[in-house]
């Protein structure tokens, strides 16, 4: 076993919420609440969400993009409290299903500030969007044009955008790159499908085309792909003006803003993104002789991700060959991202100091899959033992929202912390919950 020496208090907290503080017993407090106390009170696994961090990140986007419309991407993580916080902070909402839409609206989110996405919207999705009065629906395929027109009816009216594919490869993994012509989203500029769809929309008087939409991918940490997208979308807008005399008032660049999951990893510079995108948009529109459209952006991970912490209890520690495995009471059912994308986290022992000696440990889940690995070869105290508590930062996005019922272990609860208080937002999924859905025999 390779052993290194590192004092526990030297751990870097750069990827933790701003409210995180070190405690004398080797623990951490977030939002003024010791994480070990949260685990004792609510059990493990449990997700802890720092409300102040969420709100601060919403405000940072509004400050960086004062003239833009900022939509929180609900797919990153949504619950009633999250919808309430983002609405209070003045953000709109980007949803992908009738479920996300209804949860938000029944929480009190203004439907006119909601945009419905999706590459395969069901009849229920469209009917719910029209019934509740969403602000815009993003058309992703030609077949949606006729379906939506029929659902709206000859006397109805619905604002729409068209999702176009700008032909740009960007993102942290091939499975989350959505701006290229070889995947399921949007309509290609290169082959003319986007232009053809727009012409069809213009023939539907009940549909009002307000702008173009694109989404390049996820975990993008450099500004350049967004600048290329601006140039290509403005180029399309110029051609639409020449062909149809059409001036579109909105341009949606989507989200995908990358964050650091471990200390030292790169993250997208929000201030630089805002400054350079605005300049690029103004310059491209001036060259094309077009007015500058209102910019729309859709951050999700960058708001929710750094605000969340996952807490797990160690169930076993064993040595197999030259590796040490620490198995915890959660895993791929509450966080499938390592298995899907090979992502890496930086878990930390909390609740006791641990030894100064460190060793590489692979933190694995409890599920019957060899790929159920939460963190491979991470540095943890050499005396790690069953009963210890591990905290995983940057756990607020695309973990619980992508959770499953694998092995029927039940999904973890979500607890909000702020100003020294903790409160339950989403309760733990119980065996009774699982049984209630099983109606046959």
Catalytic residue IDs: 368
Q: Tell me, letter by letter, the H, E, C secondary structure of 211-275.
A: EEECCCECCECCCHHHHHHHHHHHHHHHHHHHHHCCCCCEEECCCCECCCCCCCCCCCCHHHHHH
Q: Which residue has the tokens 């009633």?
A: 80
What is the Cα 318 distance to its own chain's centre?
34
Virtual CA dihedral for 154, 159, 164, 166, nearest 10 degrees? 150
Cβ distance 267 to 222 under 8 Å?
Answer: no
Both tokens of 172, joined, read: 């942290």
Both tokens of 259, joined, read: 């964050």
What is the Cα 414 distance to its own chain's centre?
16
Both tokens of 327, joined, read: 């198995």
Cβ distance 83 to 113 under 8 Å?
Answer: no
Q: Which residue has the tokens 């790169």?
A: 266
Q: Which residues contact 314 (CB under 8 A, 6 or more apart)?
A: 326, 327, 328, 384, 385, 386, 387, 388, 389, 390
CB-count burial class (<10 Å; 0-12, 13-18, 19+) for 30: buried
- Which of 223, 216, 214 is CA-nearest to residue 168? 216
């Amino acid at each position: 076993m390779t052993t290194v020496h590192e004092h526990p208090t030297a751990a870097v907290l750069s990827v933790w919420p701003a409210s995180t503080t070190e405690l004398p017993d080797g623990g951490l407090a977030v939002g003024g609440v010791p994480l070990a106390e949260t685990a004792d009170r609510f059990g493990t696994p449990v997700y802890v969400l720092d409300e102040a961090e969420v709100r601060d990140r919403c405000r940072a986007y509004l400050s960086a993009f004062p003239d833009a419309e900022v939509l929180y991407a609900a797919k990153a993580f949504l619950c009633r409290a999250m919808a309430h916080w983002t609405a209070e902070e003045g953000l709109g909402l980007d949803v992908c299903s009738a479920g996300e839409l209804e949860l938000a609206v029944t929480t009190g989110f203004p439907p006119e500030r909601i945009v419905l996405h999706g590459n395969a919207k069901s009849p229920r999705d469209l009917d719910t969007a029209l019934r509740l009065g969403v602000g815009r629906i993003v058309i992703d395929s030609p077949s949606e044009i006729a379906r939506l027109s029929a659902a709206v009816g000859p006397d109805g009216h619905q604002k729409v955008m068209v999702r176009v594919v700008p032909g740009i490869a960007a993102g942290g993994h091939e499975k989350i790159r959505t701006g290229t012509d070889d995947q399921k989203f949007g309509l290609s500029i290169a082959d003319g499908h986007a232009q053809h769809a727009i012409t069809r929309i213009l023939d539907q008087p009940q549909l009002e085309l307000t702008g173009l939409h694109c989404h390049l991918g996820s975990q993008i940490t450099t500004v350049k792909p967004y600048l290329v997208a601006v140039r290509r979308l403005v180029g399309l807008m110029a051609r639409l003006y020449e062909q149809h005399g059409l001036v579109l008032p909105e341009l949606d660049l989507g989200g995908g803003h990358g964050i650091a999951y471990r200390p030292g990893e790169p993250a997208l510079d929000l201030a630089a993104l805002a400054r350079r995108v605005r300049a690029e948009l103004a310059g491209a529109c001036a060259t094309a002789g077009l007015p500058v459209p209102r910019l729309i952006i859709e951050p999700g991970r960058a708001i929710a991700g750094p605000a969340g912490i996952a807490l797990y209890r160690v169930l076993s520690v064993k040595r197999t060959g030259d590796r040490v495995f620490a198995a915890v009471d959660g895993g791929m059912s509450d966080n499938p991202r390592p298995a899907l994308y090979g992502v890496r986290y930086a878990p930390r022992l909390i609740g006791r100091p641990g030894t100064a000696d460190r060793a590489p440990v692979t933190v694995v889940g409890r599920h019957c899959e060899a790929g159920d690995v939460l963190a491979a070869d991470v540095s943890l105290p050499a005396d790690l033992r069953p009963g210890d508590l591990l905290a995983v930062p940057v756990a607020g996005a695309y973990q619980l929202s992508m959770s499953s019922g694998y092995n029927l272990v039940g999904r973890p609860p979500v607890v909000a912390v702020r100003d020294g208080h903790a409160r339950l937002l989403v309760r733990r999924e119980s065996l009774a919950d699982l049984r209630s859905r099983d109606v046959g025999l």
